[in-house]
């Protein structure tokens, strides 16, 4: 299992388009991917779960990956949240 804290680098917070792209990115991997804020982590492959996080800009989110390709998933999703999320 791999986990760490990643800030949400999007000026509007977790919105529908961001949740869609994040879930699609997470779905590329076979491992489980969980993302959480102050509460319990949610399945990052589920758009509605991501929206229920109600994450705001700059919120620190705990990213957890567990499974065969956990390292690749962790790196890709960390990069997405830090870089690509700014563009959505």
Q: What is the pLDDT of residue 39?
A: 79
Q: What is the pLDDT of residue 28?
A: 97
Q: What is the pLDDT of residue 75?
A: 97
Instruction: Report H helices in the chain.
Output: 16-27, 47-52, 70-82
pTM recorded for the entire structure: 0.93
**C-beta of residue 31 within 8 angstroms of C-beta of residue 70:** yes
For the stretch 10-58, pLDDT in tens is 899 999 999 999 999 999 999 999 999 877 899 999 999 999 999 999 9
Residue-range domain boundaries for the chain? 2-87
Catalytic (active-site) positions: 15
CA dihedral 81, 59, 20, 66 (to 10 degrees): 70
**SS3 track for 53-77:** CCCCCCCEEEEEEECCCHHHHHHHH
If you classify domain 2-87 with CATH, what class do you get?
alpha beta
């Amino acid at each position: 299992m791999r986990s760490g804290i990643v800030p949400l680098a999007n000026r509007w917070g977790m919105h529908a388009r961001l949740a869609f792209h994040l879930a699609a990115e997470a779905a590329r991997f076979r491992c489980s991917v969980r993302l959480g804020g102050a509460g319990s982590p949610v399945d990052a492959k589920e758009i509605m779960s991501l929206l229920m996080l109600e994450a705001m800009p700059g919120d620190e989110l705990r990213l957890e990956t567990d499974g065969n390709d956990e390292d690749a998933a962790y790196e890709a999703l960390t990069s997405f949240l830090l870089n690509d999320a700014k563009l959505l």
